[in-house]
Amino acid sequence: MIPVNEPLIGKDELRNVMDCVKSGWISSKGSYINKFEEEFASFCGVKYGVSTTNGTTALHLALASLGIKKGDEVIMPTFTMIATAYAVMYTGAKPVFVDSERETWNMDVSKVKEAITARTKVILPVHIYGHPVDMGEISRLAKKHGLYVVEDAAEAHGAEYKGKKCGSLGDIGCFSFYGNKIVTTGEGGMVVTNSKKIAEKARLLKDLAHSPGKRFLHMYLAFNYRMTNMQAAIGLAQTRRIKELIAKKRWIADMYRENLEGMKGLTLPAEKEWARNVYWMYSVLVEKDFGMSRDTLMEKLFKEGVDTRAFFVPMHRQPVIVKEGIKPVKGGYPVADGISRKGLYLPTGLTLTKKDILTVCGKLEKVQKSAGKA
Ligand SMILES: *Cc1c(COP(=O)(O)O)cnc(C)c1O
């Protein structure tokens, strides 16, 4: 079976972890934490990095550091992973969902303006599957209405909007280092920002908010979102080879494009002229004229030894969100619904070989041909 994803973990990662274990620095203090935060933030082109336990807690910590609370509204895409919405809901604020844009599958920035109310505090774009959101209009709107911008860059390590890295384009950028992300620490996350004030608040809140100078005296309701030195040890090794990891993703995308371009009924992922897509997952849409539905295609590929994943189910269709009484906006979400029905991602693991990719493309053709005959 060709898996849908696999991390690339090498000798340096192993050596760093061994160093932690041998030296006894296995908890959330130790030199790897600081180095990882510094080097990852610097890669993003921002001043401060605050590590967390995962991407979900990074998002929550970001919003908490901005003081987001009940009564506030946060504008975000309906087409994303549930963690984005959960993070908003943990603060008590209400997520306001916006439909997607056809080409990049990101939040439709032309629909953000009409979602702004007197209660809006944050715009939370998500760089879906590694393609940056068109941030220009979002920044303009945020400035005009006095809103914060928090980027969910969990799928977009190293992606660029007009030459600037995702995560550095708003007030705060949030990353995940889960096992299937471009940079992994097993489980882990990071908040990056250029604001010293936000970084200090995030650092305080992620570690139970001990008062500075007076340990065990607490002014804020805070969290334990501390990453361990062992995770940071892996993260540091990964950050030092990040260009290689991104180049591999882009190579995979090139290989797929070369072999799948022109295939009937298959829409390939976009890369806008202002964007550098990092193709976290090589995602395609299975259109009507492909010859079978997305779900049938997935089943058939699986039988042929190729693992795939269906696209996210949009937030407005999540029972947990409907149950909370969060209503869709006027006009609904036709684009997000379409993408979510038609989309799947092909194997995009960092260990894929050229032969693997050619096998996947060959199986796609074989399955499509078999449908024509049936
Ligand atoms: C992976 C992911 C997250 C959550 O990260 P975890 O580390 O799994 O908590 C959040 N948002 C998006 C868009 C993601 O893909």
Domain at 163, CATH number: 3.40.640.10
Same domain flag for 233 and 292 = no
- The CA R_g of the chain, rounded to the nearest whole Å, is 21
**Domain boundary residue, one of 191, 223, 239:** 239
Q: How far is the CA of 366 from the centre of ligand 1 (A)?
A: 34
pLDDT number for residue 98:
98
Mean pLDDT over the full length of the chain: 96
Distance 63 CA to ligand 1 centre (A): 15
Domain count of the chain? 2
Mean pLDDT of 109-134: 97
Tell me how far the alpha carbon of residue 81 lies from the centroid of ligand 1, in angstroms: 7
pLDDT at 161 over 90: yes
Residue whose CB lies within 8 A of the most ligand 1 atoms, among 178, 280, 312, for a mutation test: 178
Does the residue 125 lie in any domain?
Answer: yes
343 and 275 share one domain: yes
Report if residue 2 sits inside a domain: no
State the closest ligand 1 atom to the C-alpha of 187, by its place in the atom list counted from 1.
7
Pocket around ligand 1: residues whose beta carbon is below 6 Å from it? 54-56, 80-81, 83-84, 126, 152, 154-155, 176, 178, 189
**End position of a domain, from candidates 239, 270, 294:** 239
Residue 151 has pLDDT above 60, yes or no: yes
Ligand 1 atom showing the smallest separation from residue 176 Cα:
7
Domain boundary among 190, 210, 239: 239
Q: Grade residue 371 by pLDDT with cuts at 50, 70 and 90.
A: confident
Is the pLDDT reported for residue 339 higher than 80? yes
* Per-residue pLDDT tens digits for 162-175: 999 999 999 999 99
- 192 and 41 Cβ atoms separated by less than 8 Å: yes
> Over the stretch 306-328, which tens digit does the pLDDT of each residue have?
999 999 999 999 999 999 999 89
CA of 87 to the centre of ligand 1 (A): 10
Please indicate, yes or no, whether residues 197 and 275 belong to a single structural domain of this protein.
no
268 and 174 in one domain? no
> What DSSP line would sit under 107-168, residue for residue?
B-GGGTGGG--TTEEEE--B-GGGPPP-HHHHHHHHHHHT-EEEEE-TT-TT-EETTEETTS
**Same domain? 280 vs 196:** no
Q: Which of 57, 298, 344, 297 is nearest to 177 (CA)?
A: 57
Residue 5 covered by a domain: no
Ligand 1 atom 14 nearest Cα: 154
Centre of ligand 1 to C-alpha 56, Å, is 6
Domain of 123?
11-239
The minimum-distance atom of ligand 1 relative to the CA of 188 is 7
Q: Is residue 71 part of a domain?
A: yes
**Inter-axis angle of helices 242-260 and 354-373, nearest 10:** 30
| pLDDT grade for 279, boundaries at 50, 70 and 90 | very high
Residue 323 and residue 296 in one domain: yes
**Residue 49: both structure tokens together:** 């990095």
143 and 78 in one domain?
A: yes
User: What whole-number distance in Å separates Cα of residue 231 and Cα of residue 229?
Assistant: 5
Say what the pTM is: 0.97
Tell me, yes or no, whether 3 lies in a domain: no
**Residue with CA nearest ligand 1 atom 5:** 55
Co-location of 235 and 322 in the same domain: no
CA-nearest of 57, 28, 32 to 240 is: 32
Q: Which two tokens stand for residue 18?
A: 């061994």
Name the DSSP class of 100.
B
| Judgement on whether residues 279 and 214 belong to the same structural domain of the protein | no
- Whether 111 shows a pLDDT value over 60: the answer reads yes
Let me know: does 112 contact 133? Beta carbons within 8 Å: no
C-alpha distances (whole Å) from 319 to each of 78, 327, 341 are 13, 12, 17
Mutate which of 88, 155, 174, 176 for ligand 1? The one with the most ligand atoms within 8 Å of its CB, which is 176
Ligand 1: centre distance to CA 58 (Å): 9
Ligand 1 center–CA 300 separation, angstroms? 28
155 and 206 inside one domain? yes
H-helix segments, the chain: 11-23, 31-44, 55-65, 82-90, 135-145, 196-206, 229-240, 242-260, 294-303, 319-323, 334-342, 354-373
Q: Is residue 6 part of a domain?
A: no
∠ CA 267-374-342, nearest 5°, is 25
Whole-number Å distance, alpha carbon 291 to ligand 1 midpoint, is: 33
Of all residues in the chain, the percent with pLDDT exceeding 70 is: 99
CATH code: domain of residue 309: 3.90.1150.10
Burial environment of residue 355 by CB neighbours within 10 A (0 to 12, 13 to 18, 19 or more): exposed
228 with 249, same domain? no
Do 21 and 62 share a structural domain? yes
